[in-house]
Structure 1
C-alpha cells in the first residue's frame, strides 16, 4: 500500500512544502535532514491515500508548534514527536493506524514523515490547512466540526501532557502558553479522528502537491527555464488552480520579532525599475496580506509566497533580509478553504485584518507588471 518515499522525492517535497508554507511553517531544511538520516539508516516512510485505511482506523495528525524563528536556534529531533504520539495513544487507549500533517507547509510537512520513519506508521497524503497557518483552530477539520482535543503536547526534555479544551480556540491558547514555557517550541498530536472523518474534512493530496511543486522548480532550474512560468503551468491542473507573479523587487526593510510564540512583523520590497513602486507584506509566522502601494494584491487564505527571483527557491519569514531580490508569488486556495465557514475561521477577520477577502485571481488584474 502507498508509495515509499525516496531521497530525491523527499528533497522535492521539502522545497515544495516551503512554498506552500507561505513564508511560515518553519524552514523544512533541518526537518528534511532528519528524515534523510532515517532513510539512510534503512528505515522507510510510506505515504498513502486515506482511502487505503478502513473507516474506523485511528489517524493522529502531528506537528511542531512554536515560532519559526526559534527553530533556527533550538533544533528539533524525533524523540519529542514520538513522545507526543505515545502520550495521546495512552490517553485514548488505542494505537494509531496512521499519522498525517496538520499543515502541509514548511517544517511541519517533515514532522509526520519523521514520525512515520521512527514508528513505522504510514503518513496520509492530506492535511487540514492546505498551506501553513499560525494557529491550531485554523483547520478545515475544525471548520467541519472536528474537535482538536484531546491533544498531546511534549517537549525535548521529556515533559508531556494532555490538553482537553472546551473548544478549539481555547485549545490553541492553552497549547500556545505551554509551548512558550517549553522554550518556544513543542511537539503536538491533535485532532484525533477516524479515517472516514479525514476523508470528509481534509485537503487531499497535499504531500503529493508539495513534491510536484519542488520537482517543477528543480526541473525548471536544470533546464534553464523560467521557474515561475513552470509553476503556474503545473498549478493550473490542480485544485490550486491559479498561480501568478504579484511583484518583483528588492527587500528594503524587514520588521520581525518573536511575540507570544509567533514570528510577527512585515517586509517591504521596492521594484527594481521604480523605487516608488512598493509592496508591503504583513506576516504572523505566515504571510497574511500583500499590499502594493497601499492596495491589497493578495490576502489570506490565498497563499503569498516570497521566492528567490532567479531560482524560484522559497524564502521563509525568518530568512528575509535586506537587499534580497525576491518575487512575490500568489497561489489560490482550493474551494474547501473558501467557504463562508472557512473564511470565518482563517480568513482576514481571523487575523484582525480589516480588508474583506477577495480571491487573488480577482484582485491581481490591476497589480500585474
Structure 2
C-alpha cells in the first residue's frame, strides 16, 4: 500500500480547517461534495466541542473498532439537504449495536471533497479521534471503489442513516450489491445519506488503507497559502500536468440514479488558444479528451482549478465562462494494479479504452 511520508499532525484545530478543505477539494477531482459549507460546519463543531485528535492506525487498540464514514449521494442535492447534526450519533449507535462493541475512532472513507472534511466535524461531535488515512486517496463515485474491496477484505455490514432519522443495515454479497443497495436507500432518502462501510478492527485495516490522507490534504493547503503562483506550486507538489487553461464554454449536467452526470467543455486561452478539451463527469471528473485523444483518465486524478487562486472547483459549482485550468496527476500506486483497474479504471465506467498513466499520456 501507500508509502507516503506522514507529516506529524497531532490534532486539527480551527486554524487547520481551511487548509484541510483546500486539499480535500483538490483530491475530490470535482466530487465528494463541495467543501464550502463543510468549512463552516467543522469550525463550528470544533469551537463547541474542541479540537480533533489525529491518530495513526498503529496507535489505535488492535481490536478497537474503526468506523469509516462518508456522505453518499448526488453533490447537487447536498446543497439543499443539509445534515441535522445528529446523523453521526445515530450511525455510531447502529454500528455499535450491530457489531456489539464500541467505536474507538472514525476515518474518512474518502479524503476527497466534503467527505474528507466533514468527518472532522463528526469526530469533534462524537469526542472520537480521527485516523490519518482513507480508502481512496481521492474521491470515487461508487461504494465498492475503495482499498478494502480492491485488497480483497471480506465485506462487512454497511449502515446508512438519513437526516430524518431513518437507518438501514445492509449485508452485501458483492461489491456491486454494496453499491446498488446503498444507492437505493440513498435515493429513497431524497438523494443524500450518511454511511459507514468496511467497519473493522484497527489491526485489520493496517496495510489496507491510503495512509497520511489528512496530513497530506492539510499540507496542500499550507503549500499554496500566500503564494502568488498557486498553479506552479501545485504542479511541483503533485507532479501534475496542466491539460488546458481557458474558459468553460459548455456544461451539461444532470442528476440520475443518485449521481451527477454530464460533461464540461473548456476552450483554451493564451498559449492554449484554439484548443478545446472536454471532461466527462460522474460526480468526479473521469476522462479528459481532446479531438478524440485521451489526455487523462481515472484512476489518475483530474481536477478543475480556478486559474487565479488554484482552488479546486466541484462539479456542482462549475459555471459558464469560469476561467479554469484542468490539471491531472498520478494516483496512488494501489489503483494501478490489475484488480484495481477492473474496479476504477476507464472500463469500469463504460469506456472502451485502456488506462494509460498520466506520465505516459502527457509525454
Encode CA deviations 1:89-142: one digit per residue, 9 max, x unaligned. 111101111110110000101232122111111100110011000000000110
* 3-state SS in 1 of match to 2:356: coil
Residues in 2 aligned to 1:115 and 1:147: alpha-carbon distance in whole angstroms: 26
Give 1:1-369 correspondences, 5 Å limit: 3-220=10-227, 224=228, 226-235=229-238, 242-273=239-270, 276-365=274-363
TM-score, normalising length: structure 2: 0.95
Question: Is this contact kept in 2: 1:78–1:114, CA < 8 A?
Answer: no
Residues in 1 aligned to 2:9 and 2:102: alpha-carbon distance in whole angstroms: 20
Residues in 2 aligned to 1:243 and 1:52: alpha-carbon distance in whole angstroms: 33
Higher deviation after alignment, 339-348 or 17-26: 339-348
Question: Is this contact kept in 2: 1:149–1:168, CA < 8 A?
Answer: no
Gaps of 5+ in 2: 1-7
Question: Is this contact kept in 2: 1:62–1:111, CA < 8 A?
Answer: no
How far does residue 176 in structure 1 lie from its aligned partner after superposition?
A: 0.3
Question: Is this contact kept in 2: 1:149–1:171, CA < 8 A?
Answer: no
* 3-state SS in 2 of match to 1:328: strand
Question: Is this contact kept in 1: 2:70–2:109, CA < 8 A?
Answer: yes
Question: Is this contact kept in 1: 2:300–2:330, CA < 8 A?
Answer: yes
Residues in 1 aligned to 2:138 and 2:155: alpha-carbon distance in whole angstroms: 18
Encode CA deviations 1:309-367: one digit per residue, 9 max, x unaligned. 111011110011110110001121121221111111111111111111010011012xx
Residues in 1 aligned to 2:71 and 2:155: alpha-carbon distance in whole angstroms: 15
Quick one: structure 1 residues 331 and 77, their matched pair in 2 at CA, closer, same or farther if it must change by over 3 Å? farther
C-alpha RMSD over aligned residues: 1.4
Residues in 1 aligned to 2:262 and 2:237: alpha-carbon distance in whole angstroms: 31
Encode CA deviations 1:277-326: one digit per residue, 9 max, x unaligned. 10000010000000122211110000000000111011110011110110
Question: Is this contact kept in 1: 2:276–2:290, CA < 8 A?
Answer: yes
How far does residue 146 in structure 1 lie from its aligned partner after superposition?
A: 2.1
- Number of corresponding residues: 355
Quick one: structure 1 residues 77 and 111, their matched pair in 2 at CA, closer, same or farther if it must change by over 3 Å? farther
Residues in 2 aligned to 1:58 and 1:2: alpha-carbon distance in whole angstroms: 22
Residues in 2 aligned to 1:42 and 1:189: alpha-carbon distance in whole angstroms: 22
Residues in 2 aligned to 1:198 and 1:3: alpha-carbon distance in whole angstroms: 20
How far does residue 275 in structure 1 lie from its aligned partner after superposition?
A: 5.4
Residues in 2 aligned to 1:275 and 1:2: alpha-carbon distance in whole angstroms: 43
How far does residue 2 in structure 1 lie from its aligned partner after superposition?
A: 6.5
Gaps of 5+ in 1: 236-241
